[in-house]
Amino acid sequence: MRLDTSDPKQSLVFWEPGSLPFSNLMINSQNFINVSKPKNSIEKYKAPALEKGLDILEFLADFSEGLSKVDIAKGLGRSLNEIFRMVSVLEKRGYILCDPETERFSLSLKLFSIANRYQPARMMVKKAHPMMMQLTQATDQSCHLGIFHNGKILIIAQMEAPFNHSYNVKLGAEVNVFSASSGMILLAYQTEETRNTMIDQCNDAKDIDRGQLALKLKNIRRMGFEEVESYMVKGVYNLSAPVLDPNGRAVAALTIPFLAKLNSTRTERRQAREHLVEIARELTNSIGGTEYLES
**Which tens digit of pLDDT belongs to each residue from 190-220?**
999 999 999 999 988 888 899 999 999 999 9
d(CA 123, CA 107): 26
The neighbour count for residue 275, using CB atoms within 10 Å, is: 20
d(CA 164, CA 96): 57
Residue 161, pLDDT score: 87
Residue 4, pLDDT score: 47
Burial class (CB in 10 A: 0-12, 13-18, 19+), 265: exposed
58 pLDDT band, cuts 50/70/90, is: very high
Residue 115, pLDDT score: 66
Among the residue ranges 44-48, 97-101, 138-142, 285-289, the one predicted with the least confidence is 44-48
- Residue 18, pLDDT > 80, answer no
Among the residue ranges 72-81, 165-174, 274-283, the one predicted with the least confidence is 165-174
SS3 159: strand
d(CA 86, CA 84): 6
**Which tens digit of pLDDT belongs to each residue from 265-281?**
778 999 999 999 999 99
1 pLDDT band, cuts 50/70/90, is: very low
Strands (E), the chain: 2-7, 10-14, 96-98, 105-107, 143-149, 152-159, 174-176, 226-229, 236-244, 250-259
- Residue 16, pLDDT > 70, answer no
d(CA 155, CA 175): 8
d(CA 249, CA 200): 18
27 pLDDT band, cuts 50/70/90, is: very low
For the chain, how long is the longest CA-to-CA vector?
A: 76
Q: Where are the domains of the chain?
A: 39-115, 119-286
Among the residue ranges 24-38, 201-215, 227-241, the one predicted with the least confidence is 24-38
What is the domain class of 39-115 according to CATH?
mainly alpha
Q: Chain-wide mean pLDDT for the chain? A: 84
Tell which CATH architecture fits domain 119-286.
2-Layer Sandwich (3.30)
* Whole-number percent of the chain with pLDDT over 70: 82
d(CA 276, CA 140): 12
d(CA 216, CA 226): 10
